[in-house]
Amino acid sequence: MHARFVMASAALAALAGCAAPMATQDPAQRMAAIDSTRAGTAVLSCGNDLSCALRWQNVRQTALQDAAAQQWADLAALVIGAGYNADVSWYYLGQAAQGMGSYDAARQYFNTAIGDAAAGGPAACAGGVVDLCNGVAVANDAQMLLSQVPPDQAAAPPASRRRTVTHHTAPPSTASGSSPGFVPPVTAPPAGGSAAPFVPPVAAPAPAPAAPQAPAASPGFVAPVQ
């Protein structure tokens, strides 16, 4: 088994050294790869056979460097350009999407990586005779990063479109039967000259109630004159 592993590793290294380097993506392809990563629609079109594993072998050290430097757009373009459809590629796309703030897409890619790692076989970077995982424990590391993805914020209307509701307070109503307070009349200033300061009229005091009059005294008895 050990001899088989050594021979397979040597063969893979030799093929990787002889394989033609990937063509550099033109700006339109690069932008399309980045946009699809953000949108959650990334496609790893090569597959996971030996030729696609070789394409990944040629770029995986660059992917490791891009991830360490947090060059998320470069990482997304590189992984999609290689097209290696395996768990480690989805793991890196999850990192790139999370770094670019596309949290729904990041959750999707991390879940795909976890599923592929659990399935094993060609879809798992550790499923072949050569480990192509770049030192990533895909199932554990993807689960850890998935738990750190913040929830998407609810779409709130822009500040310019938010309605401001003004509450108008009705004036206090007077109690039934009560009369409003006294409001002095406004006297127009005399014509010509400077206006005299307004002096509100003073209400005349109410007349004092009349004192009660004593009843008229009855005349004293007068004896008749004889």
pLDDT for 34 equals: 96
- Answer whether residue 83 shows pLDDT above 50: yes
Query: How does pLDDT run across 53-76, given as a tens digit for each residue?
Result: 999 999 999 999 999 999 999 999
Q: What is the C-alpha separation between 72 and 63, in angstroms, rounded?
A: 10
pLDDT for 129 equals: 79
| Residue burial 149-158, b: 16+ Cβ < 10 Å; e: rest | beeeeeeeee
pLDDT level of residue 6 (50, 70, 90 thresholds): very low
Proportion of the chain in helix, strand, coil states, percent, rounded to 5: 45, 0, 50
Quote the pTM value. 0.61
Number of domains in the chain: 1
198 inside domain: no
81 inside domain: yes
Task: Give, in degrees to the nearest 5, the angle at Cα 109 between 79 and 140.
Answer: 100
CB-CB neighbours of 53 under 10 Å: 24
- Answer whether residue 165 shows pLDDT above 80: no
pLDDT level of residue 3 (50, 70, 90 thresholds): very low
- 36 closest CA partner among 83, 87, 69: 83
| In the chain, beta strands by DSSP E | none
Query: How does pLDDT run across 19-60, given as a tens digit for each residue?
Result: 444 444 689 999 999 999 999 999 999 999 999 999 999 999
69 inside domain: yes
pLDDT for 127 equals: 84
Side-chain-side CA neighbours of 195 within 13 Å: the count stands at 7
78 inside domain: yes
Q: Where in the sequence is the domain holding 76, given as residue range(s)? A: 26-147
200 inside domain: no
* Distance in angstroms between the alpha carbons of the first and the last residue of the chain: 176
- Answer whether residue 126 shows pLDDT above 50: yes
| 182 vs 65 pLDDT, higher one | 65
pLDDT level of residue 16 (50, 70, 90 thresholds): very low
pLDDT for 91 equals: 98
63 inside domain: yes
Mean pLDDT of 111-121: 96
pLDDT for 198 equals: 56
The fraction of the chain above a pLDDT of 90, given in percent, is 53
130 inside domain: yes
225 inside domain: no
Are 37 and 102 within 8 A, CB to CB? yes
- Answer whether residue 114 shows pLDDT above 90: yes
| Residue burial 77-98, b: 16+ Cβ < 10 Å; e: rest | bbbbbbbbbbbbbbbbbbbbbb
pLDDT for 166 equals: 52
